[in-house]
Structure 1
Amino acid sequence: MNNNKSSVYLACVPHVPLTKIQEEWPVEANEVFWQSYKARVEELKAFDPELVVIFGGNHLDGIHLKLMPQFVVAHAAVAIDDCGGWPGQLNVPLDIATALTAELVGNDFDMASSHAMDVDHGFSNPLHYFLGDLAAKPVLPIHINTISDPRPTLRRCRQLGEAVGRFARSLNKRVAFLGTGGLSHQTDFVFPQYHNAPNEDVRDYLVYGGEKGPISRESWRNGVVVGMDKLSHDIVDGGFRAPWINESWDRKFLDVLSSGEFESFDSWTDQDVLDAAGYGGSEIRLWIAAAAAAKACDETLELHQDFYSAETTFAVGAGVVHSKLTSTGQRPV
């Protein structure tokens, strides 16, 4: 194993479908968000990564309760045409994915792997904004279960990120890490848990993903599109303000994340997160894993909060965290 350091870049951004729905809408409340996001896109372009490692989550589109692994490394992946996402084949380097999975298993992580993983907007939304063409760069998608009970502990997500970062460091490549999702928001009215599904038809879909019961994948996705479009218009038109956004909790999370003291999250329980930030707040696992990976890959890396607002029209506490680069795309000395 080569111990030379890789060049590293990190960005943590939302993957909320409303960004795509509202992309062309002139919403003043979102202007600073897009300025921050587009600056991160330009940073990644300047960095010119040889590998992009993205920590994302599936929203009951490609992975269902028939088998819900906590962690999955994709050995091959295609993005579906879901609400808020962009379809297309991802350029997953099989040799790296295989080596990473073996490394993680060898270090006592009980990883799942997929040679045909369907990914949804939890991956394709940020990949579209950062890369344009989903296959433009080699991408290593790592799925963390954030949607369904029970979820992995924040401690284990941190440890996974650190292990991925140590592996990435051995590659001697320019590696960009992307954390996606969050912050505080509610998802259970769109993606219910098994125990509180409104009826057996929905429960069948949650388990079988359209393979059994009257709800097909197409009708499920169409229902999500209708619901998200209505929510988006209601917020922009001023008739609804998302009550689940918890600004003080979001800012606390961002402060801890930016400090680099990731072990502080080890004591945060799943119930703590659900109570404070809703089921959507569970996606902070993706940020923690990505930041821990980047820091393990380069311990000198510094994280910066560039944006936070509880007032966008995206129905989430919207934040942006990143590592700064020089104009040449190298790490600051």
Structure 2
Amino acid sequence: MTVALVTMSHSPLLGYADPPAEVNAAVQGAFSTARAFVEEYDPTLVVSFAPDHYNGFFYDLMPPFCIGYEALGVGDYGTAEGPLDVPAGRAGELAQWVAERDIDVAVSRRMEVDHGAVQPLEILFGGIDRVPTIPVFVNGVARPFVTMRRVRRLGEAIGGYLASLEDERVLVIGSGGLSHDPPVPQWATADDAARALLLNGRHPTAAARDARQQRVIDTAKAFAAGTATIRDLNPAWDTALMAVFASGDLSPVDAMTPEQMAEDAGNSAHEVRTWVAAFAALGAAGPYDVTYSFYRPIREYIAGFGVMTARTAG
């Protein structure tokens, strides 16, 4: 059997920001290439590694990893709201397989997912319920973080399960990163109102969600104009990490620490954990070849923006 992969940056600012026409055309071209890759592969099952941005997971109970048996899009930034098509039986098998390989993973029978998980499904498939999808949450915003080695081992365990599915064509998605430092509150420096959001900000009013989203949009405009105080993008860091993924040897990521990642690439660079898990899953299913790679640092999206596709050789 074969396993295929798409890793891609997401941005809540798609549709809200206005990058130069050439940049927008390049991004849309990358999305088109990824869509064509997926259409040709025609997956029967998707495993989606994605973070959350305090829309579904909060500090009242923040796991490092969680497998969803059911999932609902929350509809932030104009993304789809409602249920994903989650095959609960497969999700349960996956969770048991991972647990038996000494990876502690939470499960959710009502996972709520935001644009981090929804946006790739909309871009690649045109909707969130077109292909059976098992969502795997990977914490990329809330300290403390597990080691990158642990993330890699999660991916390897999941890849071992996927390799056993002779009757499926599995697409692995990794959504997040690369270097970026959007205005997501940090518990250590947050005021009381922000801490209330981080602790349990589920199901905000429309006005509260709009105000939160507008802060991000305003920051993006300031960042593009060179007046924002957030950390800059780091194209060298981004492309070096993408080269590691393309090499097939993920062992260098084990040495990456949360402190250095934030210093080099911003507080939300931790979202690259989804890419690590996705490529580790692909590698566990067999040797792979990267078939496409795209990268642009895009200030209007507050993101080092990357897209990669790959598949095993089997």
One-letter amino acid of the counterpart of residue 287, structure 2: T
Cα 1:30–1:240 change in 2 (3 A) is farther
Distance in 2, matches of 1:192 and 1:157, equals 23
Q: Which shifted more, 51-60 or 242-251?
A: 242-251
Alignment match, 2:303: 316
Quick check: 1:81 aligned with 2:68?
Answer: no
User: Would the aligned equivalents of 1:10 and 1:294 in 2 still touch at CA under 8 Å?
Assistant: yes
Quick check: 1:140 aligned with 2:134?
Answer: yes
Cα 1:96–1:292 change in 2 (3 A) is same
Alignment match, 1:176: 171
Alignment match, 1:20: 15
How many pairs were matched up? 312
Cα 1:225–1:235 change in 2 (3 A) is same
- Superposition RMSD on alpha carbons, in Å? 2.1
Alignment match, 2:267: 279
User: Would the aligned equivalents of 1:29 and 1:313 in 2 still touch at CA under 8 Å?
Assistant: no
| Unmatched runs of 5 consecutive residues or more in structure 1 | 1-5, 325-330
User: Would the aligned equivalents of 1:186 and 1:281 in 2 still touch at CA under 8 Å?
Assistant: yes
What SS does the corresponding residue of 2:300 show, helix, strand or coil? Answer: coil
Alignment match, 1:204: 196
Cα 1:154–1:220 change in 2 (3 A) is farther
Quick check: 1:293 aligned with 2:287?
Answer: no
User: Would the aligned equivalents of 2:55 and 2:202 in 1 still touch at CA under 8 Å?
Assistant: no
User: After superposition, what is the alpha-carbon deviation per residue over 1:46-76, rounded to whole angstroms, capped at 9, x for unaligned?
Assistant: 1110101110011101111000011000000
Alignment match, 2:185: 192
Distance in 1, matches of 2:259 and 2:196, equals 26
Distance in 2, matches of 1:164 and 1:277, equals 27
Distance in 2, matches of 1:125 and 1:104, equals 26
Q: Which shifted more, 258-267 or 14-23?
A: 14-23
What SS does the corresponding residue of 2:269 show, helix, strand or coil? Answer: helix
What SS does the corresponding residue of 1:323 show, helix, strand or coil? Answer: strand
Of 250, 255, 261, the match for 2:249: 261
User: Would the aligned equivalents of 2:80 and 2:127 in 1 still touch at CA under 8 Å?
Assistant: no
Distance in 2, matches of 1:195 and 1:36, equals 37
User: Would the aligned equivalents of 2:231 and 2:266 in 1 still touch at CA under 8 Å?
Assistant: no
Distance in 1, matches of 2:277 and 2:238, equals 17
Cα 1:153–1:332 change in 2 (3 A) is closer
Alignment match, 1:102: 96
Alignment match, 2:147: 153
**TM-score of the superposed pair, with normalisation by structure 1:** 0.88
Shift in Å at residue 111 of structure 1?
Answer: 1.1
Distance in 2, matches of 1:210 and 1:54, equals 22
Shift in Å at residue 294 of structure 1?
Answer: 1.1
Of 116, 120, 125, the match for 1:126: 120
User: After superposition, what is the alpha-carbon deviation per residue over 1:66-119, rounded to whole angstroms, capped at 9, x for unaligned?
Assistant: 000110000000101112632221000011000011111111111100000100
What SS does the corresponding residue of 2:178 show, helix, strand or coil? Answer: coil
User: After superposition, what is the alpha-carbon deviation per residue over 1:268-320, rounded to whole angstroms, capped at 9, x for unaligned?
Assistant: 111111110111110110001001111212x2211255211124631111111
Of 194, 210, 217, the match for 1:229: 217
Shift in Å at residue 29 of structure 1?
Answer: 1.9
| Unmatched runs of 5 consecutive residues or more in structure 2 | none
User: Would the aligned equivalents of 1:70 and 1:145 in 2 still touch at CA under 8 Å?
Assistant: yes
One-letter amino acid of the counterpart of residue 16, structure 2: I
One-letter amino acid of the counterpart of residue 275, structure 1: E
What SS does the corresponding residue of 2:94 show, helix, strand or coil? Answer: helix
Shift in Å at residue 27 of structure 1?
Answer: 2.5
Cα 1:290–1:20 change in 2 (3 A) is farther
User: Would the aligned equivalents of 1:19 and 1:84 in 2 still touch at CA under 8 Å?
Assistant: no
Distance in 2, matches of 1:217 and 1:152, equals 32
Identity of aligned residues (%): 30
One-letter amino acid of the counterpart of residue 200, structure 2: Y
User: Would the aligned equivalents of 1:78 and 1:89 in 2 still touch at CA under 8 Å?
Assistant: yes
